[in-house]
Amino acid sequence: MKRGKKIQALLFNQLAGVTIYFTPANQMELSFLVLKRRKKKLEIVKKVEGLDSFKELTKKIGKLPVWLTFSGRPVFSKRLEQDPENNYLHRILPNAHEEDFKLDTCKQASGAVLLSVIRADVIDPVLQQLNEMGIPVLGYSLGPNPVQLLLDANLVEDNRIHIPGSILEIRNNEIISTNPEDESVRHSYSIDKDLLECQYIPSFAGALGFMLNRESIDTTPGNVIQSGIEGFIYRQLFRIVGLGAVAFLFLALLVNFFLFSNVNGKLQLMEAEGNYQRKYVVKQDSLKQEVSLKTGVVLQMGLAENTKYSFYLDRMISVMPNGITLNKLQCSPLNDKINEKKPLVFERQILMEGASQGSLTLNEWINKLKDLDWIRDIEVVWYRKKDELGEFQLNVFVK
């Protein structure tokens, strides 16, 4: 499965490089480091050694994808001249069956090829077990082959490099020979100015090669690895696309919420303003009805035109003696209660209530009013004493 660098960087921004070392006593020792891409840099974020089972490995790395490197006694490595037909296995094992072995070949700058071989019955159970445990295996390297990448990139300047189970002799940035090393040694090497212990060199180199999308010249991955890679890719794509879809939906809902809030706020303001305006429309209609009713009353009373009542009142007040106070004055009062079925009838009269300092003073005013030629009659409706004053009500009928 071919992948572009940008796609690979998106899908595999973090992976574990795992070294599986088979000791002289045929024991399996596991060590790994986690390589993570941070923007344009690759960083080692975790290192663990001394594991003896894949169960322990799973507890440490979880479901991270892994790149395996096999080293130790089952791995045979040799430097050969380049073969145009890539028939390297039969050059070292003439009678071997290809299906019984796994090969890892690495082309060097000088034209030579570094070949590493392991039996399939050693590697296949490992791949199958990891696959059943749900650990996605991206691929594998054999023996010293991944270290050649570090030499090609001038990341290591040593002439001898120790890795689990082997000593690598270096000349002109190429691995020229590998020698077995049964004793466990502790060496550290400067990798781009950072020190890295020898047991992590194959793990780092294998993971780095995959991160840099370095193509091997030899192999097509087996079915177990292919299915593991595809499964991991599909999960990653589902996660990325799923998160993208969720983010898009959330953004759409957020935008929709703000738009809805904005439109709803404007709608509420418009409704409030409409209600406010409707209140005044109703009030305006009520006022129009009231004006119409009062206009009808005024017209019916004959008050729409100039009347003589202001003249009458002025003349009546002018002859009113001192000692009389008016409290109520009503011109042309209704002669009966308002009834919708009867027309309104107004009397040509002036109704007055007030108080005088005595009955003589009131009689004096009544006599003066009778002398006015436009007064038809005067009726004393009632008169009563209250304290030192006399309260009265007069009804003056005009002609």
> Domain 309-398 maps to which CATH number in 3.40.190.10, 3.40.1390.10, 3.30.420.40, 3.30.1360.100?
3.30.1360.100
> In the beta sheet, which residues pair with residue 51?
30
Nearest to 58 by CA among 127, 133, 132: 133
Nearest to 207 by CA among 41, 42, 23, 11: 42
- Residue 115 · residue 88 · CB < 8 Å: yes
Q: Give, for all 399 residues of the chain, the pLDDT tens digit.
A: 444 444 444 456 888 999 999 998 889 999 999 998 887 788 899 999 999 999 999 999 988 899 999 999 899 999 999 888 888 888 888 888 989 999 999 999 999 999 999 999 999 999 999 989 988 898 899 999 999 999 998 888 889 999 999 999 999 999 999 998 877 678 899 887 789 999 999 999 999 888 876 544 334 344 444 445 455 454 555 555 666 777 888 888 888 888 888 888 888 888 888 887 887 788 888 888 888 887 776 666 555 545 677 888 889 899 999 999 999 888 877 666 666 666 666 678 899 999 999 889 999 999 999 999 999 999 999 999 888 889 999 999 988
- Residue 65 · residue 93 · CB < 8 Å: no
